[in-house]
Amino acid sequence: MRWEFNGNRGEVLLYFGVYLIYLIYGLCVLIGSRQRILNVAKFEFSTGWPIFKSHRDDTNDELENFTQYISTNWHWYIVHVCLNTIIRKRYAHLQPVAHAMTCGFILMKTMHLASITTFMLLLSSFYTASKNESKKLIWFLSATWMAAIHLIKNSEYFYTLGYTEYFTLIQLLSWTVLRGCSFSLQRIKTSKSCAKEELQNLYSLKNFLGYTLYFPCLIYGPFMGYQRYNRIRPERNQRNDWKLLIWELLRALAWWFLLQTASHYLYLHYMARDLMAVKAVDTVFGLHAIGYFMGQFFFLFYIVTYGLGIAFARYDGFHPPNKPRCIGRIHFYSDMWKCFDEGLYEFLFTHIYADLCEKHSPVLQKLFATASTFSFVFVWHGCHVFVLIWSILNFVCLVGEKIFKYLISCPSYENFVYSKLKLKANGVQRLNAALATQVFIPAAFSNVFFISGQDVGEYLIKGAYTNGWWNYTMLTFCSYCFFQCSQVLLQIK
């Protein structure tokens, strides 16, 4: 079944016109709700930047901690770049050593002994286990450390070290579990086709520490599998590398500035924490806009944080994952996993899904592999109820998408739409898009659970399905236009 969109210019203008009107309307509603949100807020917002003459929504802990982390540690990024530039040019084989030593020194200067000790225990346990070359042991160790991270989250002792260090430690341990897994599981795969001496060189202690202690991606990602770290590009034109690094850093700064500017006018961070603030929006379509712009704020945050790590990784000669794709350009939810967090998707697909099933495996086996993948996602993100709901909705929507794609590829369906309904190719594409929209809507709202939690997620998804047939018809029409816009943009690319 062909998915290409071949509509005329007027049809394309209609779709993008609806999309633009929806965005403008949503922005107007959310900006107009600021004072009502301030009235119901449980505490005062910060005064904001004087140039905007408005309160700033400073309730996103991740964004605030990232900003503080960069303002405190920016000089360490410069140290990393300078040292790595010298090492890469003259002693390329010592690059992992430089990464490990630089990061180790930074951690000793910025974290307490208890945090460093915990981190070193995690590192040593994974490196020791990797030599055993047992998948069961690696997954048992991963489960043990994820349980330990959950205990640390609820530990008063680590909280007394300061909220910034507490938050940083949780991030550090969580990412390092994935890195330890990736290193160990990749070693097991490589051992089947690699000589023992070469295997020891590829998976030496030097490389393990260089990979797990790579500072630019250490705390805020993105996740870079060991197979990416182990593939260093040959020496390039260093002047062009510097230009690219500076350009990418300026882009990340520009997106951060946009996010900070928007937080003076759109109080979405606080809405994610307080249902009463969501209820301050008094139109049904305004509620839909909350879900959309929450997703966009979430996307911008990761464009900034991942963009920073990707910029340095590319400068250092690695092949990091691509930046997240804008959620406004994703119309099939399977693409959300593939294109939003490419590094995490590669890990999940390579080490969980593909290990449990193959391309031609039975359907039930594939369903089991998918469920196992989302079970890991649930546990890794912290075993919260809202994460469980998000994981289940993700699973259901992905299964629904697979069923939909299977049905429209059946000869009986093609015979029905072409012979019985007498549709042409464009008409079939429109019908398919209209049907796919019914999977797209719950998939889009599922993200709200992950971003804002159970109460807000339930309220917004109920608003989509329980506010009458006219509301749902209009929501479906707008979502259909979004779907077609994404299809057009995908073909242009």
Co-location of 158 and 205 in the same domain: yes
**Minimum mean pLDDT among 90-99, 213-222, 423-432, 460-469: which range?**
90-99
Co-location of 283 and 431 in the same domain: yes
Burial of residue 27 (CB within 10 Å: 0-12, 13-18, 19+) is: middle
**Would the pLDDT of 5 be above 70?**
no
Co-location of 48 and 154 in the same domain: no
In tens, the pLDDT along 143-171 reads 999 999 999 998 889 989 888 899 999 99
Co-location of 226 and 358 in the same domain: no
Q: Which of 185, 213, 243 is the last residue of a domain?
A: 243
Residues 452-470, mean pLDDT to the nearest whole number: 92
Tell me the pLDDT band of 298, cut-offs 50, 70 and 90. Answer: very high
Name, in order, each residue with C-beta under 8 angstroms of 298's C-beta and a sequence gap of 6 or more: 327, 447, 451
pLDDT given for residue 235 in this prediction: 57
C-alpha torsion 308→309→313→315, nearest 10: 10
3-state secondary structure of 239: helix
State the alpha helices, DSSP H only, in 350-424: 354-356, 363-380, 385-408, 411-415
Which of 30, 487, 42 has the alpha carbon at shortest distance from 296? 30
3-state secondary structure of 276: helix
Co-location of 53 and 94 in the same domain: no
Q: Output the 3-class SS for 419-486.
A: HHCCCCHHHHHHHHHHHHHHHHHHHHHHHHHHHHCHHHHHHHHHHHHCCCHHHHHHHHHHHHHHHHHH
Co-location of 43 and 73 in the same domain: no
In tens, the pLDDT along 190-212 reads 887 777 888 888 899 999 999 99
In tens, the pLDDT along 368-422 reads 999 999 999 999 998 899 999 999 999 999 999 999 999 988 989 988 988 888 8
Co-location of 47 and 82 in the same domain: no
Separation CA 402–CA 398 (nearest Å): 6
Separation CA 491–CA 493 (nearest Å): 5
pLDDT given for residue 1 in this prediction: 44
In tens, the pLDDT along 62-80 reads 999 999 999 999 999 999 9
Tell me the catalytic residues. Answer: 381
Q: Is residue 299 part of a domain?
A: no
pLDDT given for residue 3 in this prediction: 58
Q: DSSP label at 100?
A: H
Co-location of 23 and 94 in the same domain: no
How much is the pTM?
0.93
Co-location of 146 and 277 in the same domain: no
Co-location of 238 and 94 in the same domain: yes
Q: Which of 186, 208, 243 is the last residue of a domain?
A: 243
In tens, the pLDDT along 83-139 reads 888 887 777 778 899 999 999 999 999 999 999 999 999 999 999 999 988 999 999
Query: Is the separation of the CB atoms in 133 and 183 below 8 Å?
Result: no
**Would the pLDDT of 40 be above 50?**
yes
Separate counts of helices (H) and strands (E) for the chain: 24, 0
* Domain assignment of residue 157, given as a range: 61-243
What is the rounded average pLDDT for all residues in the chain?
A: 90
In tens, the pLDDT along 463-473 reads 999 988 999 99
- Give the count of domains, the chain: 2
Strand partners, 46: 56
Separation CA 49–CA 208 (nearest Å): 44
Strand partners, 56: 46
